[in-house]
Homo-oligomer: A and B are copies of this chain.
Amino acid sequence: MAEEVKLFKTWSSPFGLRIVWALKLKGIQYESIDEDLTNKSPLLLQYNPVYKKIPVLLHNGQPIVESLIILEYIDETWKKNPLLPEDPHKRATARFLAKFGDDKVMSSIWAILTKEGKEQEEASVQAIENLKFLEEELKGKRFFGGEGIGFLDIALGWLANLVPVLEEILGYEVIDKAGFPFLSEWMLEFSSFPEIKENLPLHDKLVTKFRAYLAAAPDK
């Protein structure tokens, strides 16, 4: 029986892109279903009744939700090109920093873009402090996963993808070469890795989307 692999995503969501990248790196064929989040499909609501969010991976009829959990599922189901390292402590570090990326780094960087004045300054200080943890982890390595792209590279891939977009809108660099030599280099390396490069949303289209979002936001 042929495997059924379907991915519910949007063209721009960094959480959906994680799954695209992981499936491409594993060489898994899948059907892509692009959702309109203003009018979610009945299938999305059926498969993710708790959070009602993309991404959802449907594998032979069984839904898996939450992007970091889907990444682990993919890594456990298709063993080729492992994403997580073997060593339990390295696995724990990758899981911790992926969660840290979502909980802390993403919100602090987002706040630079959406806040103003003193709040924006505080967000900037917080973002730099958070990014320093990632810079430290990357020191002396090509990727977080070592020589190849791993779980944490995919989980933090939104940095390589979205930070240049935010920087264009802000008019200055958040992850600059002087302050973050390893992260800066990683952003370039990650974005130019074939399976990633071929599956990145267009920069200009993202800039347009974010500018429109900010123009419509009530507090700007």
Contact = CB atoms under 8 A, between A and B. Distances in A.
Contact of A73 (B70, B76, B88): B88
A99 B64 contact: no
A165 interface: no
Interface in A64-98: 64-66, 69-70, 72-73, 76-77, 88-89, 91-92, 95-96
Interface of A: 50, 59, 62, 64-66, 69-70, 72-73, 76-77, 88-89, 91-92, 95-96, 99-100, 104, 133
A93 B66 CA distance: 10
Given A69-B92, A72-B91, 17 more contacts: A50-B133, A59-B89, A64-B89, A64-B92, A64-B96, A66-B96, A66-B99, A69-B95, A69-B96, A69-B99, A70-B92, A72-B95, A73-B89, A73-B91, A73-B92, A76-B88, A77-B88
27 contacts: A50-B100, A50-B104, A50-B133, A59-B89, A62-B89, A64-B89, A64-B92, A64-B96, A65-B96, A66-B95, A66-B96, A66-B99, A69-B92, A69-B95, A69-B96, A69-B99, A70-B92, A72-B91, A72-B92, A72-B95, A73-B88, A73-B89, A73-B91, A73-B92, A76-B88, A76-B91, A77-B88
